Structure 1
Amino acid sequence: MAEIKKTPLSGVLEIFPKVFKDQRGYFFESFRADWLEKEGVHETWVQDNQSYSQKGTVRGLHFQREPYAQAKLVRVVRGKVLDVVVDLRKGSETFGKNYSTILDSERNNLLYVPAGFGHGFSVLEDAVFVYKCSNYYNKESEGGILWNDPHLQIDWMVNDPIISEKDTQWQTIEEFKANSEGGL
C-alpha cells in the first residue's frame, strides 16, 4: 500500500509507493487508481507524457483552461526535480499559494495535481519526468504564470536556469487574476 500525504493546498497529494527491495533489485506499483479513489479522487487518465531535461532546466508554470483543464499525476523515473504547483482556482482559500516537493527516482514519490493549478519543475539532476493527464493537451487552451514572478517567491533551487522563450513570456499571478476574472 502507498502512503498518501495531504499538502497545504487542498486536493494536492504526495504519494509514496511501497518499494520491495531484494538482492535482484526492486519492485513497486507506480500507479493504482484505488490510491486516489480512497482520497475521493476519481480521474480517467487519457494521456501519458514523458520529457527529458538536463540539470538546471526550469519548465513552467503551465496550465490548461476549460474545457481542456487537466489533472496530472507526475513522477520522475530518473534523476531529481523540484516540482512546483500554484493554486489558480477561482475562489480558493489558497489562491496564489504554491507548494513544492522534490520528486526523486530514489524515493519513487508522485504528486497528484488537480485541475486548476499551474505546474512546473526545476531539474536538480538530469531527469526523465513522466506524467498522466486527465485531458488531452490543447494548444489554444494553454496558459502559464511567469516562473520567476516575485509575488510567488518560489525558490527553484537552480542558478542560471535553462528556460524556454515561451516560459519567459507568461503573465504574473496578478495579471492572471485580473485577466481571468479571478482564476480558473
Structure 2
Amino acid sequence: MEFKFNRLAIPDVIEIEHGAIGDARGFFAETYRENALAEGGIKDRFLQESHSRSAAGILRGLHYQLDPRAQGKLVRCSRGRIWDVAVDIRAGSPYYKRWVAVELSDENRKMLWVPPGFAHGFFALTDCDMIYKQTDYWAPELDRGIRWDDPELAIAWPGGQPSLSPRDQKHPFLKDAEINFRYAAI
C-alpha cells in the first residue's frame, strides 16, 4: 500500500496519507510501515503507543516532553474527527512560535508526524479515539505544556470555549514555559 507524504508550512511536520483496500465488508489499511516512513523522511524509532478517547468539544494540549526524553509523535484519529495542531518551540528555528494544523479523521485516514521539539494538541470535533506512536517513553518528570490560548501563538482553534482538563488549564504561556529544545537543520 502506498504512503503519501506532504510537508506542511513547517517542513519538519509531515501529513501522511495511506491507502486502503475496501469492499462491501469494510476495508484493510496499513497504518505503519517502517521502511515507507523512512523513505518519507521519518526515520525515528517508536518505543511506545498510546490511545486516548475524547468527547466532542474537548481540547487536549499543548503538550511536550523535555530533552533528553523529547517525544516525536505519529498521530492518527481512529474514530471521529479532530483538529490537530503542532507548534514549533525549538529555539533558533526559522519557524519558532509558528503552528500548523490538519484535520484528522477515521474517514480521511490521514496521520500527522510531530517531531521532537514541538508542542502538540488537538480539539475533538466529534467524539474520537486517537492513537499515538511515540519516539520515547512517557517521563512524567519531564512532561510539560503551554496554554492552548496563548495570544503570542494566536492559534485559530475551531468552535467556542473548549472543555479542558485541570492540568491543561494551568499550563503557562510560552514566554514562561520551561523549554530546552534547540533547532538543528536536518
TM-score range, shorter chain: over 0.9
Q: Indicate if the aligned counterparts of 1:91 and 1:182 stay in contact, CA closer than 8 A.
A: no
Larger mean Cα displacement after TM superposition, 161-170 or 38-47: 38-47
Q: 2:117 — aligned with what?
A: 116
Q: 1:151 — aligned with what?
A: 152
Q: 1:86 — aligned with what?
A: 87
Q: 1:49 — aligned with what?
A: 50
Unaligned 5+ residue runs, structure 2?
none
Residue identity opposite 1:33 in structure 2? E
Larger mean Cα displacement after TM superposition, 5-14 or 122-131: 5-14
Give the TM-score, by structure 2 length.
0.93
Describe how 1:1-184 pairs up with structure 2 within 5 A: 1-176=2-177, 180=179
Coordinate RMSD, CA, aligned: 1.5
Q: Specify whether residues 143 and 29 from structure 1 end up closer, same or farther in structure 2 by C-alpha distance, changes over 3 A only.
A: same
Residue identity opposite 2:9 in structure 1? P
Q: Indicate if the aligned counterparts of 2:67 and 2:181 stay in contact, CA closer than 8 A.
A: no
Residue identity opposite 1:139 in structure 2? P
Q: Specify whether residues 182 and 19 from structure 1 end up closer, same or farther in structure 2 by C-alpha distance, changes over 3 A only.
A: closer
Distance in 2, matches of 1:27 and 1:115, equals: 30
Identity of aligned residues (%): 35
Residue identity opposite 2:171 in structure 1? W
Larger mean Cα displacement after TM superposition, 49-58 or 39-48: 39-48
Unaligned 5+ residue runs, structure 1?
none
Q: CA deviation at 1:39?
A: 2.7
Larger mean Cα displacement after TM superposition, 87-96 or 156-165: 156-165
Q: Specify whether residues 182 and 48 from structure 1 end up closer, same or farther in structure 2 by C-alpha distance, changes over 3 A only.
A: closer
Helix, strand or coil at the partner of 1:143: strand
Q: CA deviation at 1:40?
A: 3.0
Q: CA deviation at 1:168?
A: 1.3
Q: Indicate if the aligned counterparts of 2:66 and 2:179 stay in contact, CA closer than 8 A.
A: no
Q: Specify whether residues 124 and 181 from structure 1 end up closer, same or farther in structure 2 by C-alpha distance, changes over 3 A only.
A: closer
